[in-house]
């Protein structure tokens, strides 16, 4: 895998001679796994409190909240789930829900029609195939409507302590690209790149760390490179207008 490199070139003109000064950032040139390890160490110091932000009390609530979080902020979801979880307590409740009513209950999450359909069908599948319980394997989870690898990874780790991969959300994707940890844009390929760079026991930790750094420092539009602990390691540092 190639790593993006940043080289700043300054030109000084002295009479008839031109001298080119190349200023390198040594950390950028570290071997990819060594860079990833150093990135994680710095982020661990900076965001020791990094953890899943969604609020839930059981595995079903975690699954529902994560499905709802697609194309929405955790704050949006945490604002609507207390009332939602009081009304829908079991897989049967979602399976038997009136679709139009469920749509209104989750409307503030965005894309609520599609999400409501997914929740209802997920409830049905949990009842019919899994005895109303949330399954414990990647293969079974991704069969549920509205569940892809990102959601499955979050549920497996936070509910069951199972590490099956890296949960790649919008923050993880953006930072992995900016930090030169991947050249891919596809979520599954980005996940594989990160899994190759980071030890298995750190797969979900890098998820939380990149998410927190993306929220607090590496904003999509205006990253705060001047205060970023990764600026010496980041090939994209100070390249934003």
pLDDT one-digit tens code per residue, 52-93: 999 999 999 999 999 999 999 999 999 999 999 999 999 999
Beta bridge partners of 24: 7
Would residue 87 count as lying in a domain? yes
pLDDT-derived band at 1 (thresholds 50, 70, 90) equals very low
Would residue 73 count as lying in a domain? yes
Helix, strand and coil content of the chain, in percent to the nearest 5, comes to 55, 5, 40
Please give the biggest Cα pair distance in the chain.
83
pLDDT-derived band at 240 (thresholds 50, 70, 90) equals confident
Would residue 14 count as lying in a domain? no
Q: Which of 14-28, 97-111, 195-209 has the lowest mean pLDDT?
A: 14-28
Taking the model in full, what pTM does it have?
0.87
Name the catalytic one among 150, 193, 202, 208.
150
Q: Which residue from 201, 217, 112, 108 is spatially nearest to 163, judged by alpha carbons?
A: 201
Name the catalytic one among 169, 193, 202, 208.
169
CATH number at residue 120: 1.10.340.30
CB neighbour burial string for 84-104, b if at least 16 within 10 angstroms, e if fewer: bbeebeebeebbebeeeebbe
Residue 12: CB atoms within 10 A of its CB come to 9
Clarify whether 189 is annotated catalytic.
Answer: no
Would residue 124 count as lying in a domain? yes
pLDDT of residue 137: 98
Would residue 9 count as lying in a domain? no
Would residue 17 count as lying in a domain? no
d(CA 104, CA 208): 31
pLDDT-derived band at 30 (thresholds 50, 70, 90) equals confident
Clarify whether 192 is annotated catalytic.
Answer: no
Would residue 109 count as lying in a domain? yes
User: Into how many domains does the chain fold?
Assistant: 1
Host domain of residue 146: 31-241
Would residue 18 count as lying in a domain? no
Mean pLDDT across the chain, nearest whole number? 91
What are 116-160's pLDDT values in tens digits?
A: 999 999 999 999 999 999 999 999 999 999 999 999 999 999 999
């Amino acid at each position: 895998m190639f790593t993006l490199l940043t080289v700043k070139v300054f030109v000084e003109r002295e009479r008839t001679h031109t001298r080119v000064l190349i200023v390198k950032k040594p950390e950028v040139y570290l071997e990819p796994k060594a860079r990833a390890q150093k990135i994680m160490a710095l982020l661990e110091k900076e965001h020791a409190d990094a953890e899943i932000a969604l609020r839930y009390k059981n595995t079903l609530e975690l699954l529902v909240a994560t499905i709802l979080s697609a194309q929405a902020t955790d704050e949006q979801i945490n604002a609507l789930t207390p009332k939602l979880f009081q009304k829908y307590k079991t897989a049967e409740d979602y399976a038997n829900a009136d679709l139009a009513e469920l749509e209104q209950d989750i409307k503030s999450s965005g894309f609520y029609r599609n999400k409501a359909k997914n929740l209802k069908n997920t409830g049905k599948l949990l009842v019919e195939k899994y005895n109303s319980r949330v399954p414990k394997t990647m293969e079974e989870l991704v069969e549920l409507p509205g569940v892809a690898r990102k959601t499955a990874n979050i549920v497996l780790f936070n509910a069951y302590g199972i590490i099956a991969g890296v949960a790649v959300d919008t923050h993880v994707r953006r930072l992995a690209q900016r930090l030169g940890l991947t050249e891919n844009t596809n979520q599954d390929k980005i996940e594989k790149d990160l899994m190759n760079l980071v030890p298995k026991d750190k797969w979900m930790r890098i998820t939380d760390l990149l998410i927190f750094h993306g929220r607090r420092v590496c904003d999509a539009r205006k990253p705060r490179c001047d205060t970023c602990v990764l600026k010496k390691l980041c090939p994209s540092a100070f390249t934003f207008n």
